[in-house]
Structure 1
Amino acid sequence: MKRLLVVAATLTAVALAVSSLAHAGQAPVALSAPDIPISHRDRVYSSDQFSNTVSVIDPASNQLVGVIRLGDTTPANFSPLYRGQLLVHGMGFSPDHRTLAVVSIGSNSVTFIDTQTNAVKHVTYVGRSPHEAFFTPDGSEVWVTVRGENYIDVLDGKTFEEKTRIIVPAGPGMQIFSPDGKYGYICSSFNPETDVVSTADHRIVGKVAQASPFCPNIAATPDGKQVWFTLKDVGKTQVFDARPPFALLKTLDTGPITNHVNIVHNSHGMFAYVTVGGLNQVKVFRTDDFAQVATIPVGNLPHGIWPSGDGTRVYVGLENGDAMTAIDTLTNKVIATVPIGQAPQAVTYVPDAVPEGDGTANTQPLGAAGSAVHITLVTVGRASAGNANAPTSVALFDQGLLQVLQAAVTGLQASQPYVLGLSDNADGSGHIDVLASFKTNPAGSAIVNTLGQIRQVVAPGTPEGADHRRYLVIAPNLGSSLGPAVQVQAL
């Protein structure tokens, strides 16, 4: 009897120890849901905007499984007969973890992909420039924010065909649902207003004022108490009560090009992880008192972020780094960086996405989708190579005949016109050929894109004499002329 009591006590102690490690309810489900330990059956996905691919990662090994190609690179996608997807961007997944919903903003589509086979099941075409798509918690509907219009396109969760539309202020940016499925929270990219919609009848039941018009991302805590959303143009993150009357709780200054936010619950508590593209950092905040508890350097232009099924990791897409970074949430340290496709945008972690087999069907090697050159621009007078605090990162994505150039610009005057160009001289003096004109946002930052045959004049190692070498610079746009360069290429 004594032995049985000892064994029972030991088993009870073990059970308590195990239960103390389980912190249920990772995004996007309720706190009561069980955690799902990381395994080879899980997958991390990123939507790769300029290679028009979906990258697939095995988180148990932190290795790339392959890419799912949804479209061609430029200029092949210029043809009027082109049938592939263009500018692969947003991403969500079904509650049963068997279907991805991938939004392509250039081809106005939502592509539904089987997670087991990586095969396309269906493509639904919606209105102008959709941004994100998410399933309702019961899987009955898919809500698509049509950012170029003034509505949410509501699709049937089985047939993927349109059921109805929810009219909202122009430019809905993203929606997420309360864990109980009662509400849909829709932030705006064009109007300073987040709307709360009843999922039962598709009616707006609440409004929350945004500190600025440009919200790209929104997340709900698994306890159903808070909603967090980011403001890319002013570098802030706001929090409001997820329940009526949906009162604003906190506004945080997070930094230039604040991109995405997501929620993690682990043995240390519940936290919001925010990607700050202009600082190349992920910032971590407690959800109870909003205190910042960590700043994690991750690489160039962090964008999408999503936690593992047990909350022990978050995965971050590096838009100008063409990589996925894995962060241990208990130490808040980077533990792996995996090369992926060009300019990753949204990221999702899908536990048990591949119930059987190796899950490699219908994937391709990374190949040309991983081809890019990375450059930094620094403030004039500080042009030292390897400057960790360089205000501007540039990625030059190889498309074959052409290159897509994307610059994540910070450190400039707010709301002012500038040009990104090629200068004859490394110090920015001399003639400047303008590649792109842009205006900074209220945080003095901008995302600048241009396209052309650029690589041969900016890539490091160009032989002297093969071409007249020129250098990337940023200069004020004075209208009839350009001012002296304020940022120059680091050498």
Structure 2
Amino acid sequence: MKSAALILALATTPLPALAQATGQAPWNRDVPASHRDRVYAAEQFSNTVSVIDPVDGKLLGVIRLGDPQPANFSPLYRGQVLVHGLGFSPDGKTLAVVSIGSNAVTFIDTATNRVKHTTYVGRSPHEAFLTPDGKEVWVTVRGEDYIAVLDPTTYQETLRLKTPGGPGMTTFSPDGKYGYVCSSFNPELVVFDVASHTIVGRVAQPSPFCPNIAATPDGEQVWYTLKDIGKTVVIDAKPPFATLKVIDTGPITNHVNFAATSRGILAYVTIGGRGDMQVFRTDSFERVATVPVGRLPHGIWPSGDGRRIFVGLENDDGLAVVDTATNKLVGTVPIGQAPQAIAYVANAVPRGDGLQNLQPLGLAGQSSTLSLGKGGRALTNVTLFDQGLIQVLQASATGLMPKRPYQLVLAARADGGGEVQPLASFTTNPSGAAIVNASGPIRQVVQADASSGRRWLAIREGTADAPGAIVQVQQR
């Protein structure tokens, strides 16, 4: 269940000189948080962008880019599907929103929340970031093998930069010299010289699946996450881009970001399978804190002054807010369904109230949660996102054997016995975890007050042709 939004009371004076912007957004200035700032969350099942006032910890409304299921199944559907990635311009005036399912980059005016243009690129883009000088938008086209370079004034594609297949994300050095591109399908990271658009470095990834990458605000290091093996890797940001450290962070390691605090530059990593955020020093790589934040933490971004970290909770429909001085959760703001990327934009609304073109949360705020496990221990979180009469089910499965086939099923009995109906087949990653999706009127049959034909969610080993034993069952 979602927590009520709390008054977050961000301080109105900056930290000491160490406080500065993140490497992902070197144009954020060291300024106190303000009601002019905005936090944005891209939400892939409600196809919305939530807009939050970071000072009050208040959802102001959503920018609705598309419809939920089943409306978006129509061959005549014109909205966006799987709203996922976020980037923004150096001046904070434009938000770039990537929708994976509709191959789109939507440009939004931050002052008015108005869609200015939508550019369609290749198959399954993942993230779009602007170069620090604001002259180019680099879109990683993860379903193919290139970066689509867009002109931010005409919104047209001007160039394609060849990469290993499945580029996951680009981050830039704060000085704008290098663009670091990790891969989601190949174990190789490449480094571009931004001015010449040429590859000047290649770095071996310990595994193929990198969803997120970020540069430290001092320009010395680049950190990237490996979702499939639960690790975070640190490389030198300068040639020859040597690997400095591989950190075992945990199953479903998602995103990484930084804040410059009075204790130095700290790295923050979301661990989806454990429901927490881990905090590391960037000089010694020592883990200094583990902060429980909620179900399946995903995107992460600091405030411009480094006093707060904002974390999207993919299976809680919430935005967790963490105080960097104490590493404590101070509030959770209800937002749209399955937030992915998060972005903090300083001075996004220079004047006015910034409420134009926003809509209420509505159906996008409706979901329910449960867990699966064994022996009374919860191991797998499940969220049912309402889409009218049906729900999108998303399970963050953990506690399973690595690289093994499993099925998410509906069982006739609470112990997983009796007739079993498969919902989805999946194979775990090397850390014994997986993200599993299904859709249908599932909530109506798994809730305790189901009028007839009650079923229980469970996970069983094997495949449809060779089913095995039930290993996790729905907890009462």
Q: TM-score, normalised by structure 1?
A: 0.93
Letter in 2 for 1:145: T
Distance 2:24 2:185 in 1: 28
Q: Judge conservation of contact 2:23–2:218 (CA < 8 Å) in 1.
A: no
Distance 1:250 1:299 in 2: 27
The alpha-carbon deviation at position 483 of structure 1 amounts to 1.8
Pairing 1:288–2:283 present:
yes
- The match for 1:472 is 457
- The match for 1:204 is 199
Q: Judge conservation of contact 1:24–1:31 (CA < 8 Å) in 2.
A: no
Stretch moving more, 20-29 or 123-132:
20-29
Over residues 248-303 of structure 1, what are the superposed CA-to-partner deviations in whole Å (9 max), with x where a residue is unaligned?
00000000000000011011111110000000010000000000000000010000
Q: 1:371 aligns with which of 349, 366, 371?
A: 366
Pairing 1:154–2:139 present:
no
The alpha-carbon deviation at position 32 of structure 1 amounts to 9.9
1:21–1:32 distance in 2 versus 1, CA, 3 Å: farther
Distance 1:365 1:265 in 2: 35
The alpha-carbon deviation at position 401 of structure 1 amounts to 2.8
1:20–1:441 distance in 2 versus 1, CA, 3 Å: closer
Pairing 1:191–2:186 present:
yes
1:66–1:139 distance in 2 versus 1, CA, 3 Å: same
1:255–1:169 distance in 2 versus 1, CA, 3 Å: same
1:243–1:490 distance in 2 versus 1, CA, 3 Å: same
Q: Which runs of 5+ in 1 are unaligned?
A: 1-17
- The match for 1:178 is 173
Over residues 287-326 of structure 1, what are the superposed CA-to-partner deviations in whole Å (9 max), with x where a residue is unaligned?
0000000000001000000000000011000000000000
Q: Judge conservation of contact 1:173–1:216 (CA < 8 Å) in 2.
A: yes
Q: What is the SS of the residue equivalent to 1:486? A: strand
Q: Judge conservation of contact 2:24–2:214 (CA < 8 Å) in 1.
A: no
Q: 1:393 aligns with which of 381, 397, 407?
A: 381
Q: What is the SS of the residue equivalent to 1:21? A: coil
Q: Which structure 2 residues correspond to residues 92-241 of structure 1 after superposition, within 5 A?
A: 92-241=87-236
Stretch moving more, 293-302 or 449-458:
449-458
1:29–1:277 distance in 2 versus 1, CA, 3 Å: closer
Q: Judge conservation of contact 1:25–1:32 (CA < 8 Å) in 2.
A: no
Q: What is the SS of the residue equivalent to 1:196? A: strand
- The match for 1:269 is 264
The alpha-carbon deviation at position 479 of structure 1 amounts to 5.3
Pairing 1:425–2:413 present:
yes
- The match for 1:3 is none
Q: Which structure 2 residues correspond to residues 325-404 of structure 1 after superposition, within 5 A?
A: 325-379=320-374, 381-382=375-376, 390-404=378-392
- The match for 1:12 is none
The alpha-carbon deviation at position 205 of structure 1 amounts to 0.3
Q: Judge conservation of contact 1:30–1:224 (CA < 8 Å) in 2.
A: no
The alpha-carbon deviation at position 481 of structure 1 amounts to 3.6
Give aligned-pair identity as a percent. Answer: 64
The alpha-carbon deviation at position 459 of structure 1 amounts to 2.8
Q: What is the SS of the residue equivalent to 1:35? A: coil
Distance 1:441 1:253 in 2: 15
Pairing 1:489–2:470 present:
no
Paired positions, count: 464
1:199–1:298 distance in 2 versus 1, CA, 3 Å: same
The alpha-carbon deviation at position 358 of structure 1 amounts to 1.4
- The match for 2:427 is 439
1:32–1:401 distance in 2 versus 1, CA, 3 Å: closer
1:61–1:83 distance in 2 versus 1, CA, 3 Å: same
Over residues 6-27 of structure 1, what are the superposed CA-to-partner deviations in whole Å (9 max), with x where a residue is unaligned?
xxxxxxxxxxxx8872434222
Asked which structure has the greater RCO (Cα within 8 Å, sep 6+), the reply is: 2
Q: Judge conservation of contact 2:150–2:158 (CA < 8 Å) in 1.
A: yes
Larger helix share, 1 or 2: 1
The alpha-carbon deviation at position 30 of structure 1 amounts to 8.0
Distance 2:32 2:203 in 1: 36
Q: What is the SS of the residue equivalent to 2:285? A: coil
Runs in 1 of length 4+ with deviation above 6 angstroms?
Answer: 29-33
Distance 2:448 2:233 in 1: 41
Letter in 2 for 1:482: P
The alpha-carbon deviation at position 356 of structure 1 amounts to 1.2
Q: Which structure 2 residues correspond to residues 292-303 of structure 1 after superposition, within 5 A?
A: 292-303=287-298
Pairing 1:278–2:273 present:
yes
- The match for 1:7 is none
Distance 2:148 2:26 in 1: 28
Q: TM-score, normalised by structure 2?
A: 0.95
Q: Judge conservation of contact 2:407–2:459 (CA < 8 Å) in 1.
A: yes
Distance 2:40 2:331 in 1: 15
Q: Judge conservation of contact 2:403–2:432 (CA < 8 Å) in 1.
A: yes
- The match for 2:49 is 54
Letter in 1 for 2:400: L
